[in-house]
Amino acid sequence: MLPDPLAEIAYRRQLCREAFERGRAIADREGYERARAEQAADWHAVADPASRRGEPFAIYEERRWGPRGRGHFGDPGPGDLTPAQMIERARASWEPFGLPEPGTVHLGGQKVHRHGPCLPVCYSYRPGWYPAEQADAILAAVHEAIADRDQAGRRGLRAAA
């Protein structure tokens, strides 16, 4: 009697699968062992300079935090500007260009709106620089008008349903 060819194919596939899995397990184990050995060999080259046999800990701390130490890391340094000097320098840099004072906000107007068709409130101001308080009031009015329009649209949808 002749053997079943489909059974033979299935058997050979099973043998190939087992051989592959065995080879893969061996390769994985050898690879991890080799990596552990390389890491152990390289460890001393990396760790020794940072350990007590290398430079003193104080040198590392000084490199990390600066000469005044960790407690004074964020303190102003001798070359730092005071807040008044920073504002004065910033003002001197933008005044020749006609740029605004600090505390002002640029509103782009209808060209930058992303809320669909503009509402009448969108035309109540011109694009340009505004003091922050005035810009807040303008934006609050725009957001309120958009919310009212959206709510009215929802009421219309409910009535139609």
The domain limits of the chain are 5-71, 103-160
Distances (CA, A) of 12 to 16, 24, 133: 6, 18, 80
Q: Give the residue-averaged pLDDT of 48-69.
A: 78
Going by C-beta distance under 8 Å and a sequence separation of 6 or more, which residues neighbour residue 157?
none
- Single out the residue of 116, 118, 111, 112 nearest to residue 141, CA to CA: 118
Report whether pLDDT(158) > 70. no
Q: Give the residue-averaged pLDDT of 44-63.
A: 76
Report the percentage of the chain scoring pLDDT > 70.
91
Averaged pLDDT of the chain: 84
Handedness of CA 129, 132, 133, 137 (dihedral sign): positive
**Higher model confidence: residue 30 or residue 120?**
30
Q: Give the residue-averaged pLDDT of 109-120.
A: 81
pLDDT band at 14 (very low <50, low <70, confident <90, very high): very high
Specify the range with the lowest mean pLDDT, choosing from 61-65, 84-88, 91-95, 104-108. Answer: 91-95
pLDDT band at 36 (very low <50, low <70, confident <90, very high): very high
pLDDT score, position 13: 94
Specify the range with the lowest mean pLDDT, choosing from 14-18, 75-79, 119-123. Answer: 75-79
Which tens digits make up the pLDDT trace of 74-103?
Answer: 888 778 888 899 888 888 887 777 677 778
